[in-house]
């Protein structure tokens, strides 16, 4: 089993910054993809950003403001969020696609961390 522990959410004013992180631990053979999704009140969960190898992918709404990065040695993913807007308010979920053996792969989710942008 793979466990994800998130930290770094919080409340900021518009224009502020946050840098949540997510560490993966447990029976990990390798990790192919790490990323972040979010769910705003009354909306469906949506992709924010993913990183796989050296390739990154961002939602159009966060391009130029958010940067995803990964520490391979620590199995940790970070999301640098700058120029935050009230519409970024949501619960942010860490996502990992991990192999627990050479053949067995699964998708794992963190517990979620609240990000609130308000004046």
Residues 43-73: pLDDT tens digits? 999 999 999 999 999 999 999 999 999 999 9
Give the per-residue pLDDT at 1: 87
What pLDDT band is residue 102 in, cutting at 50, 70 and 90? Answer: confident
If DSSP codes are grouped into helix, strand and coil, which group holds residue 88? helix
Considering Cα of 97, then 98, then 103, then 106, what sign does the dihedral take? negative
Residues 27-43: pLDDT tens digits? 999 999 999 999 999 99
């Amino acid at each position: 089993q793979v466990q994800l522990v998130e930290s770094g959410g919080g409340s900021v004013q518009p224009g502020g910054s946050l840098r949540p992180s997510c560490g993966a631990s447990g029976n990990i053979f390798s990790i192919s993809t790490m990323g972040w999704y979010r769910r705003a009140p009354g909306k469906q969960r949506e992709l924010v950003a993913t990183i796989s190898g050296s390739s990154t992918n961002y939602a159009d709404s966060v391009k130029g403001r958010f940067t995803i990065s990964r520490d391979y040695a620590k199995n940790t993913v970070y999301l640098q969020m700058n120029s935050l807007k009230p519409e970024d308010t949501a619960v942010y979920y860490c996502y990992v696609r991990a192999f627990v053996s050479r053949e067995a792969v699964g998708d794992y989710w963190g517990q979620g961390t609240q990000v609130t942008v308000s004046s």
